[in-house]
Chain A
Amino acid sequence: MLDIIRGQIRIFLHARTLHLCNLSLAAVFFLMMFLDSGGTGERVKPVTEYIAGSLPVFAGFASISAGLTVGMVSGADFTDKTINHELTSGRSRAASFFGRAIPVLIAGPLIALAVTALPLLLYGALFGVGDVVPVSEVVRRFLLMLFPNIRMTAFCLMTVFILKNPTASISFSTLVMPAFALAQVAESSVPVIEKLSAHPFLLAPSGLGRLGKFDSWYTYDLSLNQYFTYDPALPASTVWPIIVCAVIMTAVYLLIGYHFFHVDDMA
């Protein structure tokens, strides 16, 4: 199994397509902020203002990285029959499965959060950090968002091992997760999303959105200038169910994925 893990790590480090996709995503985020305020000459918003207002959207789109990582790294081993050769050469199914699951469950969420964090760090270095929300709270939110990211990565891994095809994982991560990210913005106008968002532990994208969201309040003056205040606090009663559900569902997805892989014929 260690060999498989080392092999997966090598693929992470040398998969140029994956790096390009992630860098492109990060560049898009940076451009969004730059064109919105940094480079247009209007009021320059500090990076904490973007974090306070848009972190769930960034994180939701960044979770595309997790799906891409699973698809391109683990899923590719099905298309090029690497796994078939491994099994016929005597490796156990458990070693093949968990040898891929462990590194991707670590690397996938970290890559997703890196894709979110890097453009924010760069923008902050160029245009200022600000004090809209405390930096310590931002770091805490990033660490908490690892859990729903791990859950989503495990789900993508499960789909790859069930379908033995990376397409499902890539499709899911590029279509469904961004849709949920956008739905976080429109949560009050989409009844189904509103109901699901009432229990953020239900779905990983909802949990990701809730952990990244800073409760806000806005007011305005006669000239219609808007002023936002953000509450950095996140109740423990919100956090713990999301974490516990993420851990349980990660285990469930791995169990289901392994169960399929354990008994299925290899094509």
Chain B
Amino acid sequence: MKMMDIIAVGVCAAACGGLFWLAGYADRVKSTKWKIFWLIVPLLAIGVSKHGLTVSLLPLYLGAVIAALGFFTELSGIRRRLAAAGAACMLLSVPVCLLNPRYRAKDYLGDFEKLSACMREHYVLTDHKGIDWDALYAKYQPKFAEIDRTQDAGANLLTWGAFCGEFHDGHVGYTYSIKEDMAPANQAIREALGHDYGLSLMRCSDGSFAAVNTDESLAEYGIRNGTVITAWDGRSPDEVSRTAPLYDVNFFVYDEEKEELTLIMGSYPDIDNEIFWSGVLCAGVGGDSVTVTYLDENGAEQTAVLPQCGDYLDRLTGTVKTVGQSVETGNLMWKRISRTTACLRIKGMSFDMKSYNSADDDAYDEMKNEIRQQILEYQQDGVKDVIIDLRGNEGGSPHMVNGVTAMFAPKGEHYCLTNCVWDEQNHCWAKDASGRYVKGNDIVYQGEQLLGDGRIIVLVDSATVSAGDIMTKEMEGLENVTVIGFTEPNGSSQAVGMKAGECGTVSFSNCVVLDENGDIAIDSGIDRQSGDGDGVEIIPFDGEAIRALFDEGRDYLMDKAREMLEQ
């Protein structure tokens, strides 16, 4: 039983005790002014518990009404009996709350009904992604009905993650809003990810699967970072990964102490990104031990039985962080890489609140002045080239994207994106007779070419999302820019809307963003190919990359960027 409810029952019962005494006092002093106190008990019954009304506390509310009836009589005997009866009725709340399985039950099913209905009505990529809402509802409604019955917060988060994963849209996600759900949700993810056997797996560019982030104890078997794993418990790592409970599921882990998200993975809009990460969940699947088949140093196939040594979550977190590492500095901060190269780190497309909420051309003048000033200083100090680190960029304002890109783009007008027209009559995004969204005005920007003949390399990864996707798309179209990464960026650029339920909030693509042809910009469709990856130079994830990342602790992509500039 919740503490506030216990306090509410206690306070109200004590108030009845007070009324019991006051009945005698009021009768002794023969004063009617005390009768107002009989009206306080119902206010206490409703107001004390911060959790709101609940059916389980009906005896409390009834008891308050019974006690309050003493207001209508002056006879102390009747008042005392009413106070006693009220207190007794209130105390009945305790066994009712303890025995009622639906006491303060969260409405998980109601949330799903409400939030999925909202998504169905307002999600702008239904046709583009071929979403079958009826099939999704039929698949997930029974699951949420069961979760509502069992009140399993962890299962609720995982099921929402699976539901959101069906969209393959980086903007579709669910976060819980009840703090007490964090711990069971984290625990559910920890259990779903499985056991740690001392290694993670990553898919290499040649299609093989390699051990990464290996524990030292595996050296006795000859398994090190880069060792090719050919089978996991007799099955291919790819097959095992696809059967993992969290494959294609959007999930995150929240560190309550640090108050930050420590791990986010999920379904990938672009199929190539999904393939890149397709091995990483495999290494948690298994029982008390797993039989791993691998190639030793001589290329011969060996087998090892690896015992489980804890939960896979921590090792997975470390693997994802190592592969997805970025320059450690603040947003829009610079770092000198070499004599001729500087790096601009952009974690998110946000400068300040005023500019973020503005679409004016001059909204980002202050930011542009800062960047301009820094580049000029660097140039005076011998810097010719710039690396822009967009890895893990969480997105934000497309106008900031234009503000930054304008600094580096060749002189002249450049195209960004196209607005969709709003149908004022039908209150929806306008579509033509063929069902395509109607093009509105183009968004353009003017290039300044601050670097002159200098070259620009942009670093991206699969977590570069939303406005990060837009910047990638703009940059890869510029002749003086090369975009590199182990993967393409995420592939989600439509703007976001949110709907809050009782237990969590769902976000989804709500605002249409088009390209110059009037097609959906960037977001992948049924073919699972996003529109901003064609210009990305994919850096092979191979033995060399694995050694650099996991053995030597180097930022391999940054080293590659420096190499390319030095050449």
A residues in contact (CB < 8 Å) with B: 131, 162, 188, 191-192, 195-196, 198-199, 202, 217-225, 227-230, 255-256, 259-260, 263-264
- Are B513 and A222 in contact (CB-based, < 8 A)? yes
* Contact among B53, B440, B495, B497 for A217, CB-based, below 8 A: B497
Stretch at the interface among B18-26, B286-294, B416-424: B416-424
Interface-centre pick from A219, A225, A260 (highest chain B CB count, 10 A): A219
Chain B positions 496 through 521: 1 when the CB is less than 8 Å from some CB of chain A, otherwise 0: 01001000000000111100000000
What are 15 A-B residue pairs whose CB atoms fall within 8 Å in the complex? A162-B36, A202-B46, A219-B122, A219-B429, A219-B510, A222-B398, A222-B417, A222-B513, A223-B359, A223-B419, A223-B441, A224-B357, A224-B359, A227-B422, A259-B71
Report how many residues on chain B are interfacial, defined by Cβ distance under 8 Å: 37
- Are A219 and B443 in contact (CB-based, < 8 A)? no
Interface-centre pick from B39, B72, B425, B427 (highest chain A CB count, 10 A): B427
The answer to the question of B358 belonging to the interface, with a C-beta cut-off of 8 Å to chain A, is yes
* Contact among B53, B440, B497 for A202, CB-based, below 8 A: B53
- Are A256 and B419 in contact (CB-based, < 8 A)? no
- Are A195 and B52 in contact (CB-based, < 8 A)? yes
- Are B510 and A199 in contact (CB-based, < 8 A)? no
Q: How far is the CB of A72 from chain B (nearest CB, A)?
A: 25
Which label, helix, strand, loop or mixed, suits the secondary structure of the B interface? Answer: mixed
Q: How far is the CB of B122 from chain A (nearest CB, A)?
A: 6
Q: How far is the CB of A70 from chain B (nearest CB, A)?
A: 19
Chain B positions 43 through 82: 1 when the CB is less than 8 Å from some CB of chain A, otherwise 0: 0001000111100000000000000000110100000000
> Which residues of chain B in 66-123 are interfacial with respect to chain A, using CB atoms and an 8 Å cutoff?
71-72, 74, 118, 121-122
Please name all residues of chain A whose beta carbon is closer than 8 Å to the beta carbon of B71 when the two chains form the complex.
256, 259
Q: How far is the CB of B445 from chain A (nearest CB, A)?
A: 12
When C-beta atoms are compared, the residue in chain B nearest to A215 turns out to be B118
Q: How far is the CA of A223 from the CA of B510 in the complex (A)?
A: 15
> Which residues of chain B in 184-207 are interfacial with respect to chain A, using CB atoms and an 8 Å cutoff?
none
Q: How far is the CA of A221 from the CA of B429 in the complex (A)?
A: 10
* Contact among A199, A222, A227 for B359, CB-based, below 8 A: A222
Please name all residues of chain A whose beta carbon is closer than 8 Å to the beta carbon of B420 when the two chains form the complex.
221
- Are B419 and A222 in contact (CB-based, < 8 A)? yes
When C-beta atoms are compared, the residue in chain A nearest to B500 turns out to be A188
> Which residues of chain B in 422-460 are interfacial with respect to chain A, using CB atoms and an 8 Å cutoff?
422, 425, 427-429, 440-441, 443
- Are B422 and A225 in contact (CB-based, < 8 A)? yes
Q: How far is the CA of A244 from the CA of B427 in the complex (A)?
A: 35
Q: How far is the CA of A195 from the CA of B502 in the complex (A)?
A: 11
When C-beta atoms are compared, the residue in chain B nearest to A195 turns out to be B52
When C-beta atoms are compared, the residue in chain A nearest to B36 turns out to be A162
Known: A222-B398, A263-B32, A264-B32. A199 touches B52 (CB 8 A): yes
Which 8 A-B residue pairings sit nearest by Cβ, starting from the closest?
A224-B359, A229-B427, A221-B419, A223-B359, A195-B52, A227-B422, A219-B511, A222-B419
Q: How far is the CB of A203 from chain B (nearest CB, A)?
A: 9
Known: A217-B122, A220-B495, A259-B72. A227 touches B427 (CB 8 A): yes
Q: How far is the CB of B453 from chain A (nearest CB, A)?
A: 32
Q: How far is the CB of B155 from chain A (nearest CB, A)?
A: 24
Q: A219-B495, A225-B422 are in contact. List 12 more A-B contacts (CB 8 A).
A: A131-B425, A162-B36, A195-B52, A198-B52, A217-B122, A221-B495, A222-B443, A224-B357, A229-B427, A229-B428, A255-B72, A256-B39
Q: How far is the CA of A230 from the CA of B71 in the complex (A)?
A: 45
Please name all residues of chain A whose beta carbon is closer than 8 Å to the beta carbon of B428 when the two chains form the complex.
229
Please name all residues of chain B whose beta carbon is closer than 8 Å to the beta carbon of A218 when the two chains form the complex.
497
Q: How far is the CA of A222 from the CA of B497 in the complex (A)?
A: 13
Please name all residues of chain A whose beta carbon is closer than 8 Å to the beta carbon of B512 when the two chains form the complex.
221
Known: A229-B427, A229-B428, A264-B32. A221 touches B52 (CB 8 A): no
When C-beta atoms are compared, the residue in chain B nearest to A188 turns out to be B500
- Are A220 and B357 in contact (CB-based, < 8 A)? no
Please name all residues of chain A whose beta carbon is closer than 8 Å to the beta carbon of B72 when the two chains form the complex.
255, 259
